[in-house]
Amino acid sequence: MSDDISLDKKPKKNWFKEGKSIFLIITAVLAFRSMLFEPFKIPTGSMIPTLSIGDFILVNKFSYGFKVPFSDWFSDPIYITNPTAPQRGDVIVFKYPNDESLNYIKRVVGVPGDTLMMVDKVLYINNKKVEVSKVDGKPYLDSMVDMYKNRKFDFLKTQTGEASHITQHEVGNDYAANFGPITVPENKFFVMGDNRDNSADSRFWGFVPFNNVKGKAILVWFSLNVPLPSSPPGDNWKLRLWKIGTLID
């Protein structure tokens, strides 16, 4: 009689069942991102000082209404609830109208029906001057990558709609000191970067259709700039622990 102990054969894996589970998990994650919240990374300085290069942000995808999952991946979004429009002052992520494969982030300064113009860098909305006041820029300069620190900026506390935020204007840069008047069409929005003299925005490429809006930026959850080989000189490493968890105004 043999003393060998025969090992039981391992049960065959049910690859179909495991594959189904993985598929459901991936689908749930993608649906979460499509309907609720989605992370983005800030690649440029157009929203400085509100958002820095290397900020990782969270975008609320249902700020303006719940969408059918994935409906905005291939066409205009389909809303489950009645959609609501972005308001002046909201910081929004949207599909760039001239190339919808790209995501942009800017601040809404004009809503449908608004008439906008800028005179010597002073913004007017419906013939009313947007009030600003100078503030100390040192805290904002400290958080910037070096490529911006050799320039001179004015930092202005600005009230756009319900949002109180800081804009910066580069002294001697007349990149877009004047425009308009221009009236915002129905279902479209006029957006600008808070880094007013270093932002390609509605002043140059036009309005953002409502269907291009992906959601409202609400939170910075991490902030680390990592220079790339293609980065311009002065784009240095920058870890900003103090920005973690800060709300976006």
Catalytic residue (one of 46, 143, 199, 202): 46
Question: Could you tell me if residue 7 is inside a domain?
Answer: no
Our answer to whether residue 46 is catalytic in this structure is: yes
Q: pLDDT for 188-234, tens place per residue? A: 999 999 999 999 999 999 999 999 999 999 999 999 988 777 676 66
At 17, the pLDDT band (50, 70, 90 cuts) reads low
Most confident of 50-54, 90-94, 133-137, 240-244: 90-94
Question: Could you tell me if residue 91 is inside a domain?
Answer: yes
Question: Could you tell me if residue 1 is inside a domain?
Answer: no
At 6, the pLDDT band (50, 70, 90 cuts) reads very low
Question: Could you tell me if residue 9 is inside a domain?
Answer: no
Q: Please compute the mean of the pLDDT values over residues 36-47 and round it to a whole number.
A: 88
DSSP letter string, the chain = ---PPPPPPPPPP-HHHHHHHHHHHHHHHHHHHHHTEEEEE--SSTTTTTS-TTEEEEEETTTT--B-TTHHHHSS--BSS------TT-EEEEE-TT-TTSEEEEEEEE-TT-EEEEETTEEEETTEEPPEEE---HHHHHTS-HHHHTS-EEEEEEEETTEEEEEEEETT--TT--EEEEEPPTTEEEEE-SBTTS--SHHHH-PEEGGGEEEEEEEEEEEEE---TTSPTT---EE-GGGTTEEP-
Question: Could you tell me if residue 6 is inside a domain?
Answer: no
Our answer to whether residue 34 is catalytic in this structure is: no
Residue 3 has pLDDT above 70, yes or no: no
Question: Could you tell me if residue 81 is inside a domain?
Answer: yes
* Per-residue model confidence (pLDDT) at position 30: 45
Q: Please compute the mean of the pLDDT values over residues 227-243 and round it to a whole number.
A: 78
Tell me how many domains the chain contains: 1
pTM above 0.75, yes or no: yes
Which domain does 32 fall in, by range?
A: 15-247
Question: Could you tell me if residue 59 is inside a domain?
Answer: yes
Return the CATH number at 21. 2.10.109.10
Question: Could you tell me if residue 208 is inside a domain?
Answer: yes
Catalytic residue (one of 61, 67, 95, 106): 106
